[in-house]
Structure 1
Amino acid sequence: MVDVWGGIECSLVRIGDTVRDQVAETGHADRIDDLDRIAALGIRTLRYPALWENVEAVRGQYHWDWLDERLGRLQSLGITPLVGLLHHGSGPSWTHILAPDFTDSLADFAGRLAHRYPWLTVFTPVNEPLATARLSGLYGIWQPHGTDEATCFRLLVAQCRAIAKAMVAIRRITPQAQLLQTEDVGKIFATPPLQYQADYENERRWLSLDLLCGRIDETHNFYDRLLAAGVDADHLADLSAKPCPPDLLGVDYYLTSDRYLDHSVERHPNEPMGGNGVEPYVDIAAFRGDGPADELGLRPRLHEVWNRYRIPLVVGELHNGCTREEQLRWFLEGWRAAEDCNRAGADIRAVTAWSLFGAFDWNSMMRQSDGYYECGVFDARADPPRRTVIADAIAALARGQPYDHPVLAQTGWWRPPSRSGAATPTIQMRGFGRVLSSLAECCSRRRLTAQAAHERAGERAWVEISVEAGPAPVLHAHYSDGATFGFHTYKEADWMAACNAFLDLVVDGLVGEFRLVEASANNQYRIIELAQNTAVGSRRE
């Protein structure tokens, strides 16, 4: 049986002189009652930050108060934390990944963590080491802002050595401690002229796990390349002789994980042009390219990882920063993929609902501070954070129950539209006018079946939408169970953005009267609850 886990987006990265801390930016750092919200979903296992940078910001000075309080609350709630020590970070400001003392310093912190909390049993010393090495050493986004493969490889090996040393230190205190190693192993597809590049990158994507499993010796295809990058042969020999294979392997998967390389750059005028030093090309999400549909998605990735390593798997991160119904469709597609792989013989233990409280500025890899918010299971733009429909799905799955919603009758944008022929649950739209036309257009773009009231959707209508005209129109939703939702807009609103915000909240099943404060493209909006509501953040259950 596949379990449902939760996870807090906890990246802490250095970009130049700037530090981006997602735990702080989403507000979770100051809301211990978030843990009660998580417990109320039925989640009993949680990927949770125990970040080295925050505990030992000054070398040799340890500040445990925040962790003491949070881990204590998790214990009292019956939630098992799986702690992460570095999440795309490079360590406290007094060190960095390529520093000579980095591996020993992280191991020292790991041992102190295990000593203080001897009841912890599952650790992720470094999250996604290869993804971090690529973003920090190959693409120049995070510290040390390298832009060559040699730097990427040195960062990778240093992180893997740190993982192995950290687990040795932890197991001196807790012999039964397990390593949960996460990685994004998205597959690369390409046009025929670039297949050689895709083949190379598809071998490279396994390097972090091959290193930890002791598979990289003189016979490995990347051994000579690692040496040529400046990696110490003794470090490779040490990892080979004393491997640190994961006890659980976390496959982190996003819509952008699988990639497609296209040499026809003119086909993608809005995409940045890259290359390999020999040929220019664009690198786009494979779901937007011409990759084979049956090879895209979480299911084939899980099968690949299982067949290569035969280590128990979890889906370590599953999130889609999109409209609400697309978030729901993505999560449940991933859940079904994990169940299907289990039935096919793979050992899939859990699916992690990632970004429980959302994330900021991941559309720019945190290089820009635009306040661009991707909603999570809870919407942290509200105070307190408001449950979304994803929370309902997770709560049902945590109880071992199936979950359904009218929007699931259609597929997400990354799959061909469903043409089952069965009657589709419908949004009934009553009235006429500019705003209702905008709503109809938004529904069409989002694969939300909508009909005008005179077309008699009948029993298939799960909600009726109408617009109260005026300088600042009010959008109304009347759900099939009799509950209602009022959405008060403002005169200067961007109507497409306002309509998309409204539809998000209708999918959530929000109840009561709310005012739109601001709205812009890509589901960036903020609402406040009006005083006449009898219950804060009321929702249909």
Structure 2
Amino acid sequence: MTVINDGSQPQPIELWGGLEATVNRVRDRYFSQMEHNGHGGRLSDLDRFAALGIKALRYPVLWELTAPDGLENADWSWPDERLPALRDLGVAPIVGLVHHGSGPRHTSLVDPGFAEGLAEYAGAVARRYPWVEYYTPVNEPCTTARFACLYGLWYPHARDDLSFLQALVNQCKGVVLSMRAIREVNPNAKLVQTDDLGKTYSTPEMAEWAEFYNERRWLAWDLLCGMVGPEHALWDYFMRSGIDAETLQWFRDNPCPPDVVGVNYYITSERWLDHRGERYPKQYVGVHGFADIEAARALATPTPGVGPLLQEAWERYGLPLAVTEAHIDANREDQLRWLMEVWQAAQAVQRSGADMRAVTVWSLLGSFDWNCLVTECKGYYESGAFDLRGPEPRPTALVGLMRELASGRPPSHPVLQGQGWWRRPGRFLCPPVATSTSIAALPGERRSTQHPVQPILISGATGTLGSAFARICAERQLAVHVLTRQEMDIADPASVEAAIRRYHPWAIINAGGYVRVHDAEQDAQRCLRENAQGPVVLAVACARHNVRLLSFSSDLVFDGSKGSAYVESDPVSPLNVYGQSKAEAERRVLAVNPQALMVRTSAFFGPWDRHNFVTLALQALSEGRPFTAAEDLVVSPTYVPDLVQTCLDLLIDAESGIWHLSNGDAVSWAELARRACGMAEVSDARLQVLPSTALDLAAAQPRFSALGSERGRLMPTLDDALERYVRAVAEARERGGMHAGAAQAAHYGSN
């Protein structure tokens, strides 16, 4: 069995993993992450996790799921299968018993019997698995008590200080009694006690609030360590709120200090309080009128991150430390940058003398609906090391970084050269605050090694896609060069070779090409040169130089005879010259460079060019002019910003082969116009709906070319995209006019 670093001498920091397994209760409804992530039915996930190089895995054996109707009716079949499998794979399970939950239906966080009930369950777990060493009986007691009994978000939905403290005390007492019961079976069992560790900064006017929050964050660990007595900074808070001295004395008489202090750290962990609530978006201003916002969104000088917080924990407790949750909901490169920043901070803390054990990647399978704190089931998904939006969990770029960290190899992904959004100028949601607040520098603070920055090369500087990629790469701080045809003619091998040797890119995005579908019928030679020959030249050069390639194809490679959405493996049968050029490009590119990423897409619309179908329809109809659209040509509309964001994530993940990317819904062009009108509150009375035969289109069109996917649906719904499109256009107008992209005609079916 894997033995976690015992701290007898400094050793390399270990990589741990975690599985998001929250089972929180909202009124009488339970929200189980396990129902959404499908792990319960995939034993093969354990093999995936072990292959990452992790030494330990935070793993659920949850009270609510295993024994919801009492121990006499417990169902152990799931942990009976999983825990021994982890042991056989050499991964130490860190067993969690309650994860943001409130126990089975018969109890709650404020139930006086909660602690004893949990301890009874903990003892049963230990007797069944006596070899398990590491436990987290209750995950984040202080945070869970806040969400459930101070903010009223989770059961039992209280909103007062006494309920908060009762829930906190009950959970911590449950930890003490659970570890006592576990150690009766396994005296060597160890407590890995987790909680969110943040820090609050403020204007001078809010200093007392900030000081209170900065003391409250320690309460769970302080209670377990027997540190809460009359001398404690929050003793009077306990007394005023109604917790008696005898309750707190119990923890002094029964200390249960963690064997590992588990620090959970998120971008939301560090807060800024400002008495000037009018400066901030309304959702950040509470009933007291002051703002409480992520520090990263407000402070002109970013905080140093988790390093100083770990140092504070070490100085306060002198106990072994681990980062037990490191996760950010962000684009792929920022997920990589976040993990790397946390890892380097942990290394620096260890060098400064702290007993730093591990960093935990959270959550390996991602998580659902944490953007609303799991109070609703909306299906909002944050991917982790694996992306679940496909038939099987798909490894993301985090997997490669994890394996490098676990093996001690230097991180290699080029996107690590940029800064995360939390350190970039565009992060602010309000006028940035220049604060004199003292923020301690971390000894041996992270220093970025300076390397020549490898860019992405983008062909098609003036096109809709090329300009969109340039814009979004800049927003994501991905180094990029957007090249005109004069700078790199993709159909000229010498020109491509010269560009690669000049810029040394790690990836090339072929965002150009011939897009005039109907003109191609009379201009076949040029269309084939730009759409077929050019991508093949790029593919050959990229294969030779080990450069990743992203190129684009179209729904027009299909003839429409299937009558339902096409998936990636469906045979192609184009009806027109444009479709033939794309089909030829697919075949030849993947033949010479199987690692290339070929994205089929359809029916662009977006806020940055004035000549796409949706923009033209809304403009005409809002001005009372007629607009004509086909009722019998069914496509899958694609919102350009979503397409670009998703393509960049796939490129960073080193995905290859054919992918279908669109916003999913199969609609006719006429229906697309109607939906856009509905979203924009524009009358569609002058929309003229005609059959395609009446439109005199030069190129034959498939009647049904909607795109589905057998690899994964990665983009939001069409209605969601249209809503964001309308909002983006309105915001652009408020700023002084819509951003114009290329003057590129958007014919039916053009890409």
TM-score (norm 1): 0.92
Once the two structures are superposed, residues 64-107 of structure 1 have per-residue CA deviations (whole angstroms, 9 ceiling, x without a partner) of 00010111211221111010000000001111111121111100
Partner of 1:59: 70
Q: Distance in 2 between matches of 1:189 and 1:433?
A: 45
What pairs up with 1:114-129 in 2 under 5 angstroms?
114-129=126-141
Q: Which moved more, 1:23-32 or 1:474-483?
A: 474-483
Q: Distance in 2 between matches of 1:48 and 1:214?
A: 27
Question: Secondary structure in 1 aligned to 2:421?
Answer: coil
Once the two structures are superposed, residues 290-341 of structure 1 have per-residue CA deviations (whole angstroms, 9 ceiling, x without a partner) of 2753x44111111110111010000000001100000000000100000111
Q: Distance in 2 between matches of 1:464 and 1:112?
A: 57
1:441: how far off?
Answer: 1.0
Once the two structures are superposed, residues 33-69 of structure 1 have per-residue CA deviations (whole angstroms, 9 ceiling, x without a partner) of 0001111112231110010111111123110000101
Partner of 2:730: none
Residue 425 (str. 1) matches residue 454 (str. 2): yes
Q: Distance in 2 between matches of 1:66 and 1:471?
A: 57
Question: Secondary structure in 2 aligned to 1:86?
Answer: strand
Residue 288 (str. 1) matches residue 300 (str. 2): no
C-alpha contact 1:487 1:514 (8 A) present in aligned 2: yes
* Structure 2: tracts of 5 or more residues without a match: 1-11, 426-446, 489-498, 518-530, 547-592, 604-636, 666-707, 713-751
C-alpha contact 1:423 1:460 (8 A) present in aligned 2: no
Partner of 2:208: 196
Q: Distance in 1 between matches of 2:277 and 2:664?
A: 33
Once the two structures are superposed, residues 486-532 of structure 1 have per-residue CA deviations (whole angstroms, 9 ceiling, x without a partner) of 11123211110111001001011111111125379xxxxx95439xx
C-alpha contact 2:638 2:662 (8 A) present in aligned 1: no
Q: 1:353 aligns with which of 335, 354, 361?
A: 361
Instruction: Report the CA distance shift for 1:358/1:266 in structure 2 as closer, same or farther (over 3 A).
Output: same
Q: Distance in 2 between matches of 1:49 and 1:433?
A: 50
Once the two structures are superposed, residues 185-223 of structure 1 have per-residue CA deviations (whole angstroms, 9 ceiling, x without a partner) of 200001121111101111111111110000111222222
Residue 268 (str. 1) matches residue 274 (str. 2): no
Partner of 2:510: 466
Question: Secondary structure in 2 aligned to 1:124?
Answer: strand
C-alpha contact 1:11 1:89 (8 A) present in aligned 2: yes
Partner of 1:160: 172
C-alpha contact 2:68 2:104 (8 A) present in aligned 1: yes
Partner of 1:443: 473
Q: Which moved more, 1:376-385 or 1:283-292?
A: 283-292
Instruction: Report the CA distance shift for 1:419/1:390 in structure 2 as closer, same or farther (over 3 A).
Output: closer
Partner of 1:29: 40
What pairs up with 1:251-330 in 2 under 5 angstroms?
251-275=263-287, 279-290=288-299, 293=302, 295-330=303-338
Instruction: Report the CA distance shift for 1:291/1:315 in structure 2 as closer, same or farther (over 3 A).
Output: farther
Q: Name segments (4+ residues, structure 1) moved above 4 Å.
A: 416-422, 468-480
1:236: how far off?
Answer: 1.1
1:459: how far off?
Answer: 4.3
Partner of 2:53: 42
Instruction: Report the CA distance shift for 1:471/1:502 in structure 2 as closer, same or farther (over 3 A).
Output: farther
Residue 404 (str. 1) matches residue 412 (str. 2): yes
Q: Distance in 1 between matches of 2:516 and 2:106?
A: 57
User: Which has a greater percent of strand?
Assistant: 1
C-alpha contact 2:284 2:293 (8 A) present in aligned 1: no
What pairs up with 1:219-234 in 2 under 5 angstroms?
219-234=231-246
- Number of equivalences: 521
1:226: how far off?
Answer: 1.4
Q: 1:103 aligns with which of 115, 127, 130?
A: 115
Instruction: Report the CA distance shift for 1:178/1:40 in structure 2 as closer, same or farther (over 3 A).
Output: same
Question: Secondary structure in 1 aligned to 2:57?
Answer: strand
Instruction: Report the CA distance shift for 1:503/1:161 in structure 2 as closer, same or farther (over 3 A).
Output: same
Partner of 1:504: 649
Q: Distance in 1 between matches of 2:151 and 2:290?
A: 15
Q: 1:93 aligns with which of 105, 115, 128?
A: 105
C-alpha contact 1:58 1:92 (8 A) present in aligned 2: yes
C-alpha contact 1:317 1:354 (8 A) present in aligned 2: yes
Q: 1:340 aligns with which of 348, 356, 379?
A: 348
Partner of 1:494: 639
Q: Distance in 2 between matches of 1:274 and 1:487?
A: 45
Q: Distance in 2 between matches of 1:487 and 1:319?
A: 28
Q: Distance in 2 between matches of 1:7 and 1:182?
A: 12
C-alpha contact 1:189 1:291 (8 A) present in aligned 2: no
Instruction: Report the CA distance shift for 1:329/1:408 in structure 2 as closer, same or farther (over 3 A).
Output: same
Instruction: Report the CA distance shift for 1:162/1:421 in structure 2 as closer, same or farther (over 3 A).
Output: closer
C-alpha contact 2:24 2:30 (8 A) present in aligned 1: yes
C-alpha contact 1:260 1:286 (8 A) present in aligned 2: yes
Q: Distance in 2 between matches of 1:231 and 1:527?
A: 57
Question: Secondary structure in 2 aligned to 1:100?
Answer: coil
C-alpha contact 2:63 2:97 (8 A) present in aligned 1: yes
Q: Distance in 2 between matches of 1:107 and 1:502?
A: 49
Relative contact order higher in (CA < 8 Å, ≥ 6 apart): 1
Q: Distance in 2 between matches of 1:511 and 1:298?
A: 35
2:711 counterpart letter in structure 1: E
C-alpha contact 2:110 2:163 (8 A) present in aligned 1: no
C-alpha contact 2:456 2:478 (8 A) present in aligned 1: yes
TM-score (norm 2): 0.67
Once the two structures are superposed, residues 373-401 of structure 1 have per-residue CA deviations (whole angstroms, 9 ceiling, x without a partner) of 10100001122100001000101111121
Partner of 1:144: 156
Question: Secondary structure in 2 aligned to 1:85?
Answer: strand
Instruction: Report the CA distance shift for 1:365/1:469 in structure 2 as closer, same or farther (over 3 A).
Output: farther
Q: Distance in 2 between matches of 1:421 and 1:398?
A: 23
Partner of 1:413: 421
1:419: how far off?
Answer: 11
Bigger Cα Rg: 2
Once the two structures are superposed, residues 108-146 of structure 1 have per-residue CA deviations (whole angstroms, 9 ceiling, x without a partner) of 000000000000011000000000011111111111111
C-alpha contact 2:27 2:154 (8 A) present in aligned 1: yes
C-alpha contact 2:391 2:711 (8 A) present in aligned 1: no
Identity of aligned residues (%): 40
Q: 2:380 aligns with which of 369, 372, 384?
A: 372
C-alpha contact 1:137 1:144 (8 A) present in aligned 2: yes
What pairs up with 1:524-535 in 2 under 5 angstroms?
528-529=710-711
Residue 81 (str. 1) matches residue 98 (str. 2): no
Question: Secondary structure in 2 aligned to 1:283?
Answer: strand
